[in-house]
Amino acid sequence: MRILLVGEYSRFHNSLKEGLQQLQHDVTLIGRADSFKNYPIDISLEATFFEKKIPNMLRQLFFRCCNVDIAFLEIAYRFYKNRKSFKDYDAVQLINEFPFATTPFVERKLLKYIFKHNKNVYLSSCGDDFYYLNYILNADLPYHILTPYVNDKTTKERFKYSLQYLSKSHEKLHHFVITNVQGIIPANFDYDMAYRNHEKALPLVPFPINVDCLPFKSLDYRGKVNIFHGVNQVNYLKKGNDLIEKALEIIAEKYPDRVLVKTAYSLPYEEYIRTYDEAHIIMDQLYGYDQGYNALEAMAKGKVVFSGAETDFQAFYQLDETVLINATPDVDDLVKKLSYLIENPKELIQIGQNARAFIEKFHNYESVAKQYAERWHFDSAQRS
């Protein structure tokens, strides 16, 4: 099949592309590099002209005056310059209903071309969107990614990137995308529980992880437990980094000679992966019910990850062993779980081995890519 993957963040589409190529499919990845993370893209739509000093100054001035980012014009220009490369694919997957991260108006114009020239377009549910955010705000959940905002509206500015999806313009974009896609594929339980009753929802397909690029290294304990906390400043409260930092402060004071805590901020992807190589424990996020992409990659390397591991996740995979630590937005609970691991370091080694085995069994990029290819092919055949 000829396959077009539209948009990238967290390296999801890069790993899916690599898995599909292993299956001899012809794959093109287009989009932007997701800010500082700088993921590889086959046809980049990034506004590189406005990264230069003088154009960037004009861009900032224009934004202050009009609250409009003129770099979006360059993104649209790059799209239309390459538009002949975006036609007649056997399957297309959008990483989000807002895959180019411009404005809802511009997105509709660009996506209209994709829909017009490709019959089988699918939407991945793996991040914020209008439907998902409305679900979590109205569902009876103990916590979710907007809990800090719900509890304290003064944090609104820290959640502006998520809250934009609740606007009327994003609602219009959402309905436009849903009308034109063949199906919606959740990538983990956070999104599956939101979309499972949607008329276009398809069964969950897990995130693909390129295990060949993430070599397993059994954890080696030499008297100190190394804890790594990677922070994306944009999602600081959304991921629960404030609570993680409080817990780590308590742990550092409680075990001054037995732990080493390292915190890094907004690193490019390749540097992020290298930085946590010597860590035993990776602190990921607190408000999820399943793992995000960074957590899964860390598990592939044999790390003990603190992330979402709630009941649905454990039941779906029929787990009878610990593959990661369920992290909730409770500082005392985090301290308790961290303390246990520090006082029982042999547990770290076993959990790390379990984590790698879990990724190889359920998230291997080639087997997951096969699931996506079958989903696109089977579902499009059923609808034709």
Q: Which pLDDT tens digit goes with each residue over 298-326? A: 999 999 999 999 888 888 899 999 999 99
Same domain, 223 and 343: yes
Whole-angstrom Cα distance, residue 261 to residue 270?
20
178-188 pLDDT, tens per residue?
A: 999 999 999 99
Same domain, 199 and 115: yes
Neighbours of 284 (CB within 10 A): 27
Q: Mean of the pLDDT values across residues 240-255?
A: 97
Whole-angstrom Cα distance, residue 7 to residue 4?
10
Q: Is the pLDDT of residue 83 over 70?
A: yes
Asked if residue 72 belongs to a domain, the reply is no
Same domain, 286 and 356: yes
- Residues listed for the chain: 384
DSSP H or E segment with residue 185: strand 183-186
| Per-residue model confidence (pLDDT) at position 219 | 93
Q: Is the pLDDT of residue 122 over 60?
A: yes
Asked if residue 324 belongs to a domain, the reply is yes
Q: How many domains does the chain have?
A: 2
Alpha-helical regions (H) of the chain: 12-22, 53-66, 71-81, 104-117, 130-138, 147-151, 160-163, 168-180, 189-195, 241-254, 269-275, 293-300, 311-316, 331-343, 346-362, 365-383
Same domain, 165 and 234: no
Same domain, 86 and 191: yes
The per-residue b/e assignment along 223-249, b for 16 or more CB within 10 angstroms, e otherwise, is eebbbbbbbbeebbbbbbbbbbbebbe
Same domain, 237 and 196: no
Sign of dihedral through CA atoms 345, 350, 353, 359?
negative
Asked if residue 74 belongs to a domain, the reply is no
Asked if residue 50 belongs to a domain, the reply is no
Asked if residue 293 belongs to a domain, the reply is yes
Q: Is the pLDDT of residue 270 over 80?
A: no
Q: Mean of the pLDDT values across residues 28-53?
A: 80
Which CATH number do you get for residue 12?
Answer: 3.40.50
Comparing 59 with 140, which gets the higher pLDDT?
140
**Structural domain for 231, as ranges:** 211-362
Of the candidates 296, 345, 286, which has an alpha carbon nearest to the alpha carbon of residue 317? 296
| Per-residue model confidence (pLDDT) at position 380 | 54
Contact 309, 324 (CB under 8 A): yes
Asked if residue 73 belongs to a domain, the reply is no
| Per-residue model confidence (pLDDT) at position 276 | 83
Residue in this structure with the two tokens 């787990």, named with its chain if needed: 319
Same domain, 180 and 254: no
194-219 pLDDT, tens per residue?
A: 999 999 999 999 999 999 999 999 99
Residue 377: how many CA atoms within 13 Å on its side-chain side?
Answer: 10
Long-range Cβ contact pairs of 117-120 (< 8 A, separation 24 or more): 117/86, 117/87, 117/88, 118/4, 118/86, 118/87, 118/88, 118/89, 118/92, 119/380, 120/89, 120/90, 120/91, 120/92, 120/182, 120/376, 120/379, 120/380
Q: Is the pLDDT of residue 55 over 80?
A: no
